Chains A and B, each alone.
Chain A
């Protein structure tokens, strides 16, 4: 089983897509390559698909009298390899599968994959720091809420959501759900949704799926804002600026841990320290602060002042607590 194989590659997929279209024009070829390939695919692939006078093309498409192209093959079936079926077998036994398929469909899926084993057997992998209070993915109410929100996203429909806030208060608001967000660390789903109030879409909320008590369709449809726009609005105003030293392999650990963030890194060649600007979702500021503090004295938060002030306050409280305790052993 090869994971890095041309049969899963972009070139094969583009040829397959064009063949499925039947008769295509040169413009179609260009368009499909642009949609399915990388930025430079258009420089390399067209001349292998379009018939060339010197025969240097693959010969899989033939030019017709009217200038269009037709494939030499009649069918390009989408058969699954063993690698793909084993991956499917893994998701068929994941507790989250019931969020997407009803019980009968789950059984049909499992039955169709009964002759293969999951690509990653459960006991071959161990999540060392995943939180132990993940969502109850198989709970019937949770599944119903998930299905209702997913349907609303596809239909671009406003839904009335009853939500339990952190303080325990129940809120009932109109939302346009935009996307699901899954966290491996938390083992839970959240929903990005724009609140609808006074006849228009307003701020974006992030709702914990586990705290949703009810979802009701309204039959009212609204065009969603682009996700990029939503993220831009949620982005921190100023990036965190941190200095990370080489001590205890700090720079390496930091750069790996924060590889999932938008960032800009520079390095002081004299000391080896890394100076990093880090952009994050403003709502996640506390999480970012906690993650930065995990590095201890090998990392210093330089700015912005508001973020540094929070670190200063926590360190001040820590110092006071330790002085209060006065441990014998230091």
Chain B
């Protein structure tokens, strides 16, 4: 019985719950879309408004060696579009350069 009590101590049931509440506010979604052939398109949606998307895009384009642009959407706001599958690289960049928490980044697609 003492072992189970120990377990209860180490597990905080509310840690998880609080996280999920904070997360629902603003996720950064990184998606992939198939184009013709084996070409793909990466979209980054939901970046916080305090960042200058134009400058981010400029750096991303140079770092990944790909083209891209900012698409404006009525519902989703401004979305960064990049050519090719840049999902992992983008998420790494967002974590390291922009101090976005990894929890708030959602990578979609296969």
A and B are interacting partners? no
Spell out B's residues near A (CB within 8 Å): none
